[in-house]
Amino acid sequence: MSLSLLEQLIESLRVLPGVGQKTAQRMAYHLLEREREGGKRLAETLGVALEKIGHCAMCRDFTESEICATCASASRDRHQLCAVESPADRLAIEQATGYRGLYFILQGRLSPLDGIGPRELGLDALAARLAEGEITEMIIATNPTVEGEATAHYLAQLARQHRVRPSRLAHGVPLGGELEYVDRGTLSHAFGSRSEMT
Amino acid sequence: MSLSLLEQLIESLRVLPGVGQKTAQRMAYHLLEREREGGKRLAETLGVALEKIGHCAMCRDFTESEICATCASASRDRHQLCAVESPADRLAIEQATGYRGLYFILQGRLSPLDGIGPRELGLDALAARLAEGEITEMIIATNPTVEGEATAHYLAQLARQHRVRPSRLAHGVPLGGELEYVDRGTLSHAFGSRSEMT
Ligand SMILES: [Zn+2]
Ligand SMILES: [Zn+2]
């Protein structure tokens, strides 16, 4: 017996992250009962977005243009470049900080065992850009994982080769975090990186 | 400044129940980074589903046909009819019990203040169906809320008028529930409805 349209809809909603059978059912009923207009808009926008959204030729962020709005903006500081692993990381920094420079989205991290090397992260293009001389500081904001750290060291070396100053985010005890619940590695690092109180 | 396609996608995902800004972002990135094919299928299925899915002429459940698969099935018991408030309630009963009879989905409950009366719940059609004489038992499975109870009483009266036996689900302490955490109304009802142990 073939699936009914409702069953197909529930099945296809499960492609969303964190959405299992129960949640997919609830979503399908919600759309059919109360949000037919919003659901139609979602169907159309999703179709167009998946067809048109590609990567910015400069920073590799998602965009439907050749160059994304940030890279094309005249009001951003073109001397600073912040390297992040993913578009979500870029968005987190953009929303949480007052950073007004440019970005470079690696779309991953160095992982030789998975076949992800400098080429896959677009580092040849990044090197060419650093060589142009406009960028003076590269803020390296990869994640504090083993692979993220290895990527950070590679990027720092690349920056120095082009006389660009590499910098990285401070690690330590999160604001509002209680020492008791901070993981040992972070606590050890924070202790070792203590600064004098003035 | 107009919204980018990515921003439009994030915005349109928020039509889903329980999906706020953060979750919508995560969903959009997930689809763009890892599930473009599944996302396209979702867009297409959602568009078709919202266009084609209507209500079954017999039971008012969602279906893309004139009559739903359950109502059209030759293997269901046509003497039992279970009345529920919503398609989700119908699905819960179908999945949890061995019920093999038919359903009637009210698509709501009596709520005079909201302008929802017998006509809005399709009770004229239900009465006509009860009058045909094929149904012998109507299992009333409305929710145990004030409006659900009022609806249940109305339905029971309608059933008796057509010499159909009304029945309702048992209420009481949930299996595995601890008395300490059962709400007072339920506990009081369960206590009053106690049965002799044999
Ligand atoms: Zn860009
Ligand atoms: Zn039906």
DSSP B31-96: HHHH-HHHHHHHHHHHHHHHHH-EE-TTT--EESSSS-HHHH-TTSEEEEEEEESSHHHHHHHHHH
The per-residue pLDDT for A172 is 81
- pLDDT category of residue A197 using cuts at 50, 70 and 90: low
Q: Which residues of A touch B25 (CB under 8 A)?
A: 88, 91
pLDDT tens-digit readout, B103-142: 999 999 999 999 999 999 999 999 999 999 999 999 998 8
Mean pLDDT of B54-68: 95
Topology of domain A5-52 in CATH is: Helicase, Ruva Protein; domain 3 (1.10.8)
Integer Cα distance of A69 and A192 in angstroms: 40
The chain-wide mean pLDDT, for chain B, equals 91
For strands B165-168 and B137-140, give the pairing: parallel
Mean pLDDT of A91-112: 90
pLDDT tens-digit readout, A124-179: 999 999 999 999 999 998 888 899 999 999 999 999 999 999 998 887 878 777 77
The per-residue pLDDT for A1 is 56
> Residues B13, B6: contact at Cβ < 8 Å?
no
pLDDT exceeds cutoff 60 at B27: yes
User: Which CATH number does A62-168 carry?
Assistant: 3.40.1360.10
For strands A101-105 and A77-84, give the pairing: parallel
Give the nearest chain B residue to A62 (CA atoms).
B6
Residue B168: count other Cβ atoms within 10 Å of its Cβ. 17
Residues 105-164 of B with CB under 8 A from A: 107
Integer Cα distance of B98 and B185 in angstroms: 28
pTM, two decimals, is 0.80
Which residue from B85, B81, B60, B61 is spatially nearest to B145, judged by alpha carbons?
A: B85
> Residues A24, A11: contact at Cβ < 8 Å?
yes
Determine whether the interchain pair B16/A8 forms a contact, defined as Cβ–Cβ distance below 8 Å: no
pLDDT exceeds cutoff 90 at B39: yes
pLDDT exceeds cutoff 70 at B198: no
The chain-wide mean pLDDT, for chain A, equals 91
Residue type, A21: Q
For strands A62-63 and A54-55, give the pairing: antiparallel
Determine whether the interchain pair B43/A41 forms a contact, defined as Cβ–Cβ distance below 8 Å: no
Token couple for B33: 């980074």
ipTM summary value: 0.82
Which of residues B174 and B101 earns the better pLDDT score?
B101
* Domain residue ranges in chain A: 5-52, 62-168
Q: Which residues of A touch B41 (CB under 8 A)?
A: 12, 15
Mean pLDDT of B177-196: 77
Partner residue facing B50 (CB), from A26, A43, A52 = A43
